[in-house]
Amino acid sequence: MKIGFIGLGIMGKPMAIHLVNAGYSVSVYNRSQAAVTELVRLGAVPFGSSKEVAEVSDVIITMLPDSPEVEEVVLGPSGVLEGISAGKIVIDMSSISPSTSQMIAARLTERGAYFLDAPVSGGEIGAIEAKLAIMVGGPESVFDRVKPILDKMGTSITRVGEVGAGNTVKLINQMIVAMNIAALSEAMAFGVKAGVAPATVYEAIRGGLAGSRVMETKTNGIASETFKPGFRMELHVKDLRNAVAAGMELEANVKFTREVLTIFEQLAEQGYSKEDHSAFYRFYK
pLDDT at site 265: 98
> Which amino acid, residue 170?
K
Q: What's the pLDDT band for 97 if we cut at 50, 70, 90?
A: very high
Tell me how far the alpha carbon of residue 42 is from its chain's centroid: 24
Q: Residue 206: which residues within 8 A CB-CB, separation 6 or more?
A: 215, 216
Return d(Cα 198, Cα 151) in angstroms, integer: 36
Angle at 282 between CA 276 and CA 285, to 5 degrees: 155
pLDDT at site 219: 97
The mean pLDDT of 27-41, rounded to a whole number, is 95
Q: How far is CA 203 from CA 182, 198, 207, 211, 223, in A?
A: 19, 9, 8, 10, 13
Rg (CA), the chain: 20
pLDDT at site 141: 98
pLDDT, tens digit, 9 for 90 and up, residues 102-119: 999 999 999 999 999 999
pLDDT, tens digit, 9 for 90 and up, residues 186-207: 999 999 999 999 999 999 999 9
The mean pLDDT of 240-247, rounded to a whole number, is 96
Q: What's the pLDDT band for 230 if we cut at 50, 70, 90?
A: confident
Q: Where do the DSSP E strands lie in 64-218?
A: 89-92, 114-117, 120-121, 132-137, 154-161
Q: Indicate if the pLDDT at residue 123 is higher than 90.
A: no
Give the rounded percent of residues in the chain with a pLDDT score beyond 70. Answer: 100
Q: What's the pLDDT band for 91 if we cut at 50, 70, 90?
A: very high
Write the DSSP string, 68-95. HHHHHHHHSTT-HHHH--TT-EEEE-S-
Q: How far is CA 21 from CA 15, 16, 65, 152, 155, in A?
A: 10, 9, 24, 9, 16
pLDDT, tens digit, 9 for 90 and up, residues 263-285: 999 999 999 999 999 999 999 98
Q: Which of 13, 51, 170, 238 is catalytic?
A: 170
pLDDT at site 231: 87
pLDDT at site 125: 87
Map out the domains of the chain with their CATH numbers: 2-163 (3.40.50.720), 168-284 (1.10.1040.10)
pLDDT at site 41: 97
Q: What's the pLDDT band for 124 if we cut at 50, 70, 90?
A: confident
Q: What's the pLDDT band for 157 if we cut at 50, 70, 90?
A: very high
For residue 218, indicate whether it is catalytic. no
Q: Residue 114: which residues within 8 A CB-CB, separation 6 or more?
A: 87, 88, 89, 90, 108, 138, 139, 142
Q: Indicate if the pLDDT at residue 88 is higher than 90.
A: yes
